[in-house]
Structure 1
Amino acid sequence: MPTNKTRVSGIGLIVLAFVAFIALGLPDGLLGVGWPSIRDSFAVPLDAIGMLLTTVIAGYMISSFFSGFLLSRLGVGRMLAASCLLTGMALIGYTVVPHWWMMVALGVFAGLGAGAIDAGLNTYVAAHFGETLMQWLHASWGVGVTIGPILMTLGLTTLNTWHFGYQIVGIFQIALAICFVLTLAMWASHARNVPSGDEPAKRLTDYQTPMIETLRQPQVWLSVMLFFLYVGAESSLGIWTYTLLTESRGVDQALAGFFAGSYWFTFTIGRIAAGMITIRTGATRLVFTGLSGALLGAVLLIWNPSQLMNVVAVALIGLAIAPIFPALMSDTSMRVGDHHAANTIGMQMTATGFGTAVIPGLMGVLAQRVSLEIIPLCLLVVYASLFGLYLLVVRLRRVSVTVVAAKTGPTQAIK
């Protein structure tokens, strides 16, 4: 039975994990607001952002893939300390390198650190604390990504430099690495005092389905495509909102920074609220409602009748899409079956990396060749495609359940 000391230790580690996820979200909120100034500093075209996104995501996917190996060799405390240090040094490095290609190269190290932090904390919380705290963990990321645009806007408007945002976040990451080093004994002690047979961790390894079998399942690829489209759309609006408003619609820098921040703020509020109602509404209804709201927001952004309507559109999209990612993730086994769920979740996380790199980068290419006003139209197309794909997935799932019910009886099918 856990002692009071163990409970206090566990609470302290959870608080530190939440702070780490806030730090994880901070860099994601910096780039969108900072990009116009960054590209001016290095004299690169609008679509060069795709190069940086590609290296960051490449590093992220590599460290995420090997996170299980690293956890078993280093332990969670050491891995998180090293990851925060690596990320912090890379972010500060962005502000001192003289050439664009050097910043792009540093993106690999920033991604390596971020991927290890993300995967390490997700695995640890899932294994030792369960689903409820996992929801709050991801809400903490929303807090970080909301603060990021505010920090960058502050640096641009008061100091006239994009360096400030990355330097502050980099220093924060390094300070967090020191905190992880100082609490190494607590991480190790808490892991020993939590039963190894914790149900969420156990369920992850119940099925050892060969990957080749999973790759042959059409519903698996449909599920992967859902994550590719969703995360691509989510990151695209976060990255391009500020540039669209300042360079195409003539909005003041400070006001545009507020608009960009409103997206992540309502996103965070929406995720917290969804955690309170998801049991009553169900994942499917949450996803359809969220996508409907996102489509409406994209239409308002295209319409652009006033500056006020811009902020309403951006905030509406943030609020609407917030519950979609966790709802899709928790519903994976319903789409692909228990035997393929673990493999599919790994593929879905890989798809989020590709989506984050490919879709915003493609929008940048189109904006460079056509106009920044193509961004809202692209968002509408992606959300409409996502809505149609999810409708197809739900219908296929219902057909599958009907077939199983006909063979085994409704009770077994539902089970």
Structure 2
Amino acid sequence: MQEERPRGSLLDEPRAGPRIDPVDFAEGTDRGVSSRERDRLQIWKLVALNFATFLAGLNDAATGALIPYIRSSYDVGLLFVALVYLLNFGGWMVAAFTNVYITARAGVGGVLCVGAAATLLAYCLDVWRPPFPLFAASYFFSGLGIAYMDAQANSHVAGLDNAHRWLGVLHCVYGVGALVSPLAATALATKTPYWHYYYLVLLGAAVANLALLTWSFRQTLFSADAGTSRGSPGRRLQDALSQKTVWVLSLFFFLYVGAEVTAGGWVVEFLISVRKGSPSRVGYVASGFWGGLALGRLVLADITHRLGDKRMISIYIVVGLGMQLLFWFVPNVVANAVAVSLLGFIIAPFFPVGISVLTRLLPADLHVASVGFSSTIGQAGSAAFPFLTGAIASKAGVMVLQPVMVSLLGGMLLLWCLVPKIRKPTD
């Protein structure tokens, strides 16, 4: 094991092999500035990346709470609503295979600003309740934009010292955004006929997000990635995709994020259609799930890290299966609300822990390409599985949510068993 060296800053990066500064490796160079100034820039970047992740939470959790109102307003069935998720999935997949190329030419700051601009365009379309085809198409742009921002945020934070804690904070902030989103969307949709005005909230957040990212990454905005000296973008992506670990964890993330957003996105429709709950009340159950997710990412980060990532994630999946079965077989709205909140809490660490594990299993020069690809493919599950659930539900009913969730959790357990043994970290 590598002996821990003294740290000059909380944001330094002690890694096996040649030390690569996160700033130099990911986004060009900040040479010529003092150590204090560089630390200040890093803090601003962390603030900006966390706000971008908060916006992603506001975005992802809103659709599920608004499904009943989208259906009635546009007079469409579940299959058409599911198309929204399909177009969103298209945006994520485009980002997965273009992220490394755009990063090489525009740098991290440039990609983040492109992503922020794409989400801003999406909310400009949504806010005036356009015809349904245009409304659905806007989800391609929101998926594309959030995918670019998500890939860069995870890549940047995974390169920091104590990455498991910083990643836990980053994804906790996502959970906070996802907690607030159904509360605001449900309150607006139940008290006014203007459910689409929720997108004004997203529009305002998107403007602030673009401004904050532009300011925080201003010194390297649209500058070529210094990582190009380590090989062409295509070569780096090819090297990353040649690693079995990248594919195993990409599929794990794909199922996990699919389960996360499927549960949060369809639970309201399930409780209304199957449990006969009141829309004005069960709309808030989704916030219980996302609140559990945010809390779990904060509370369980260090516990999981110290007791062993491989062992603890396996235990969490088994417990999560128990919570999902309780939700399935106990036909009580209150019990279901508690079960789905506990499910959110127990599965919360999966994504940040997986990113941390990926960086410990791969050499440092593959981190940007592998983390960017894996996190983007994983987040594509946030659109793919809600779409599949909606498509099946349009024929078989919303009760298919439960077998879909159990299958996703079971698949995650199998994939996690295929992850190579992880070295115990040195604190």
TM-score interval, smaller chain: 0.7 to 0.9
Checking the alignment, whether the CA contact within 8 Å between 2:323 and 2:339 is kept in structure 1 is yes
1:317 matched to 2:343? The reply is yes
User: Residue 166 of structure 1 corresponds to which residue in structure 2?
Assistant: 199
Contact 2:246–2:374 (CA under 8 A) maintained in structure 1: no
Aligned residues: 386
Structure 1 unpaired stretches of 5+: 402-410
Specify which structure has the bigger relative contact order, considering alpha-carbon pairs within 8 angstroms and separated by 6 or more residues: 2
Shift of residue 364, structure 1, vs aligned partner: 1.4
Map Cα deviations across residues 316-360 of structure 1 (whole Å, 9 max, x no partner).
110111111222333337778999887765553353244333322
How many Å separate the matches in 1 of 2:102 and 2:188? 36
Q: Contact 1:293–1:316 (CA<8 Å) still a contact in 2?
A: no
Structure 2: runs of 5 or more not aligned: 1-32
Aligned to 2:330: 304
CA contact (8 A) 1:91 1:167 kept: yes
Aligned 1:102-141 pairs, distance under 5 A = 102-127=134-159, 131=163, 132-141=165-174
Q: Taking structure 2 as the reference length, what is the TM-score of the superposition?
A: 0.78
State the match for 1:407 in structure 2. none
Q: Give the structure 1 partner of residue 238 of structure 2.
A: 211
For residues 185-200 of structure 1, the aligned pairs below 5 Å read 185=218, 187-188=219-220
C-alpha distance in structure 2 between counterparts of 1:125 and 1:219, whole Å: 20
Kindly state the Cα deviation for residue 270 of structure 1 after the two structures are TM-superposed.
Answer: 0.6
**Corresponding position of 1:261:** 287
Structure 2 match to 1:19? 51
With over 3 angstroms needed to count, the CA separation of the structure-2 counterparts of 1:102 and 1:126, relative to structure 1, is same
- Which SS does the other structure have where 1:98 is aligned? coil
CA distance in 1, matches of 2:382, 2:314: 22
Q: 1:385 to 1:242 in 2, by over 3 A?
A: same
* Aligned partners of 1:298 and 1:377 also within 8 Å: no
The answer for the alignment partner of 1:380 in structure 2 is: 406
Q: CA RMSD in A?
A: 3.5
Name the CA distance, whole Å, in 2 between partners of 1:342 and 1:173.
25
Letter aligned with residue 308 of structure 2: G
Residue 8 to residue 212, structure 1, CA distance change in 2 (3 Å): closer
Query: TM-score when scaled to structure 1?
Result: 0.80
**Distance across 2 between alignment mates of 1:252 and 1:144:** 24
How many Å apart are 1:28 and its aligned residue?
0.4
- CA shift digits 1:57-102 (9 cap, x unpaired): 2223323433344344334444434432331231231232532111
**Structure 1 residue 18, shift from structure 2 partner:** 1.7
Higher alpha-carbon deviation: 290-299 or 365-374: 365-374
Which moved further from structure 2: 120-129 or 49-58?
120-129
Q: Pick from 181, 187, 197: which aligns with 1:148? A: 181
Aligned-partner Cα distance in 1 for 2:358–2:108: 26
1:305 Cα shift? 3.7
State how 1:229-308 maps to structure 2 within 5 Å: 229-308=255-334
Contact 1:224 1:344 in 2 (8 A): no
Q: 1:117 to 1:210 in 2, by over 3 A?
A: closer
- 2:85 corresponds to which residue? 53
Tell me the alpha carbon deviations over residues 112-136 of structure 1, each in whole angstroms, 9 at most, x when there is no partner.
2212222233333345676143332
Shift in alpha-carbon separation, 1:21–1:246, aligned structure 2, 3 A: same
Determine helix, strand or coil for the equivalent of 1:155: helix
| Counterparts of 1:337 and 1:152, CA distance in 2 | 43
Structure-1 residue corresponding to 2:393: 367
Aligned counterpart in structure 2 of residue 30 of structure 1, from 38, 49, 62? 62
CA contact 1:30–1:152 (8 Å) conserved in 2: yes
User: 2:412 & 2:237 partners in 1: Cα distance?
Assistant: 28
Q: Which amino acid aligns with 2:199?
A: Y
* Correspondence for 1:180: 213
